[in-house]
Amino acid sequence: MSKVDPNAVKHYLLDLQDRICEAIAGEDGGAFREDAWDRPGGGGGRTRVLEEGSVIEKGGVNFSHVFGDGLPPSATASRPELAGRSFQAMGVSLVIHPRNPYVPTSHANVRLFVAEKPGAEPVWWFGGGYDLTPYYGFHEDVVHWHRTAKDACAPFGEEVYPRFKKWCDDYFYLKHRGEARGVGGLFFDDFNEGGFDNAFAMMRAVGDSYLDAYLPILRKRRDTDYGERERDFQLYRRGRYVEFNLVYDRGTLFGLQSGGRTESILMSLPSLVRWQYDWHPQPGSAEEKLYTDFLPHREWI
């Protein structure tokens, strides 16, 4: 097994954050605000947020590297063998909430987790992925998103994309609503297959392909005309995004339970959102089409 090298991963993650911020800011014409922060329990991070841009209503691209002597309950609940180990976790996590309702929200993250104790081999794994949350669906956009994801996984085995695609479908699902958050993509966790070098290469392939997956969709839809109806539906559907992040998302729960920086953890939430009691789309409408044609799990390629 190749040696675990957190420093190489940290170098890659900082560069990835730079590249993604530069590309998104270039599309918007605005600039990211940066906050460097320290975590009292150990570690810190670099939060970058772009708000009220011409294209991006709110976007955040975070780097964090935190460590400590013990793990929070969210980490040890399913892995009791990790109890009593020191840990370090590092990653880049991003959410882009565009202004135009015809441009999907996108989310991505890549991360490394290492747990250690004297006299024992370290327990480590990579995780991450990316997923797409449209408000008005376009078949060709979703196919492009999934094809890019499949191409990123291809060097690591033909079974990787379908496995990670299903994992994403299963994970980004609101059980209390009985519906998917979006149209999926990739999700993986506890990944250490083939040793450190191979697993790190897999994580890099996912991180490096995010812009290839998202920017063509952003450019194609950013200038589409829309009105109050489309904006209202976008804000209503953003409510599902908030519900998932606060109820189910592992990263949010880990961050809050481990004493992470609340502002950085919750930067994934949109600036504006609305809930409406017992709302249903009009039959035959473009809004209903999201529910009937895009949110149900399916094979896109």
Residues annotated in the binding site, as ranges?
A: 93, 97, 107, 109-111, 146, 176, 259-261
Q: Is 149 exposed, middle or buried (0-12, 13-18, 19+ CB in 10 A)?
A: buried
* Tokens linked to 51: 């708000």
* Tokens linked to 142: 């979703």
* Tokens linked to 9: 């991963």
The phi and psi torsions of 256 (rounded to 5 degrees) equal: -70, -40
Q: Which amino acid is at 113?
A: F
Task: Reply yes or no on whether 107 is catalytic.
Answer: yes
Binding site residues for a divalent metal cation, as ranges? 97, 107, 146, 176
Task: Give me the residues paired with residue 93 across strands.
Answer: 62, 109
Choose the catalytic residue: 11, 65, 107, 297: 107
Alpha helices in the chain (DSSP H): 6-28, 73-76, 139-153, 160-171, 195-221, 228-247, 250-257, 262-265, 286-289
* Tokens linked to 263: 């502002």
In sequence order, what are the residues at sequence separation of 6 or more whose Cβ sits closer than 8 angstroms to the Cβ of residue 155? 201, 205
* Tokens linked to 177: 């609503």
Whole-angstrom Cα Rg for the chain: 19
- How remote is the C-alpha of 153 from its chain's centroid? 17
Question: How far apart are the C-alpha atoms of 184 and 40, rounded to whole Å?
Answer: 35
Binding site residues for substrate, as ranges? 93, 109-111, 259-261
- How remote is the C-alpha of 197 from its chain's centroid? 23
Active site residues: 107
